[in-house]
């Protein structure tokens, strides 16, 4: 993966295709990672036969040891990596490359790595599609930030921009991979408060990945330990 992933998965990416599906969920638009196996190149398997489901409006906390493969799974679900085996579906439909924002948006731990340093913030925001004043207000993004360069914002401010970019793509699902780890406790709480409010408002499903079990306990409807699903203990949903 390149050092900068400027465009994230907002363009030329995957979208739902109306292929058949034998895995129809019971009438709900459920995001499902099914029997996912992955290894980098010819290295050892990072995961084998992993299953994980997230429902609309549900917040699933994913915890696990460092290096276990959580971010790798997040990248697979958000379409950055192709699994060696298995598939990711929404409502039973496979995701396929299309010129539209990916229905699963990923927010990373280090916003500066996924923002083009040569773009002013407004251009970065527009990468997600459109943004509304309401979205900016919800995320407490000040209008004057939009004229600035990334180096002229704090880490927490940049992360809000990344969140706005992700939410501007109107995703069905959001993956927050250590999204607030680098931030102070107050900013962390503010951002999660906003995210949970928006998740409820728009019925977005969230996969929250963190080593901070206390945080995950607060924000999640249920918790999943990566070592459990990697070892096939998670029941197939």
Ligand X SMILES: Nc1ncnc2c1ncn2[C@@H]1O[C@H](COP(=O)(O)OP(=O)(O)OP(=O)(O)O)[C@@H](O)[C@H]1O
Q: Write out the residues near ligand X by the rule CB under 6 A.
A: 1, 40, 43, 46, 64, 66-72
Backbone angles phi and psi of 53, in degrees to 5: -125, 145
CB of 153 to ligand X, least distance (A): 24
When the beta carbons of 40 and 233 are compared against ligand X, the nearer one is: 40
Q: Judged by CB, which is closer to ligand X: 69, or 83?
A: 69
C-alpha 164 chain-centroid distance: 12
Question: In Å, how far are 13, 37, 46, 162 from 230, measured between CA atoms?
Answer: 27, 9, 9, 29
Minimum distance of ligand X from residue 42's CB (angstroms): 10
Q: Tokens at residue 49, please? A: 């036969």
Closer by beta carbon to ligand X, 50 or else 162: 50
Report the candidate in 198, 59, 205 with the shortest Cα–Cα distance to residue 136: 198
Residues 59-88 that bind Mg ion (CB under 5 A): 71
69 binds, among Mg ion, ligand X, none (CB under 5 to 8 A by kind): ligand X
Which lies closer to ligand X via its Cβ, residue 1 or residue 214? 1
Phi-psi region of 50 (alpha: psi -120 to 50; beta: other; left: phi over 0): beta
Give the closest residue to 174 by CA, choosing from 31, 66, 37, 65.
31
Shortest approach of Mg ion to residue 132 CB, angstroms? 31
Query: What is the distance between the alpha carbons of residues 155 and 147, in angstroms, rounded to a whole number?
Result: 16
Least Å distance, CB 211 to Mg ion, is 9
Which residue has the CB atom at the shortest distance from Mg ion?
71
Closest CB to ligand X among residues 6, 45:
45
Binding site residues, Mg ion, CB under 5 A = 71
């Amino acid at each position: 993966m390149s050092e900068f992933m400027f465009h994230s998965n907002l363009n030329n990416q995957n979208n739902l295709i109306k292929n058949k599906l034998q895995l129809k969920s019971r009438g709900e638009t459920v995001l499902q990672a099914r029997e996912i196996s992955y290894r980098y190149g010819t290295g050892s398997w990072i995961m084998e036969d992993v299953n994980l489901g997230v429902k609309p409006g549900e917040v699933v906390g994913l915890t696990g040891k460092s290096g276990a493969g959580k971010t790798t799974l997040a990248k697979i679900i958000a379409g950055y990596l192709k699994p060696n085996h298995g598939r990711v579906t929404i409502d039973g439909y496979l995701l396929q490359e299309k010129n539209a924002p990916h229905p699963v948006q990923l927010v990373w731990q280090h916003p500066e790595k996924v923002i083009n340093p040569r773009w002013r913030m407004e251009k970065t925001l527009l990468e997600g599609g459109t943004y509304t004043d309401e979205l900016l207000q919800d995320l407490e993004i000040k209008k004057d930030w939009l004229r600035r360069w990334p180096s002229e914002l704090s880490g927490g401010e940049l992360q809000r921009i990344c969140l706005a970019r992700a939410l501007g793509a109107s995703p069905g699902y959001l993956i927050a991979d250590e999204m607030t780890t680098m931030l102070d406790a107050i900013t962390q709480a503010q951002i999660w408060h906003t995210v949970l409010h928006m998740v409820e408002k728009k019925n977005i499903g969230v996969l929250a990945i963190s080593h901070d079990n206390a945080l995950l306990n607060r924000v999640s409807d249920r918790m999943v330990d990566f070592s459990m699903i990697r070892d096939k203990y998670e029941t197939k949903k």
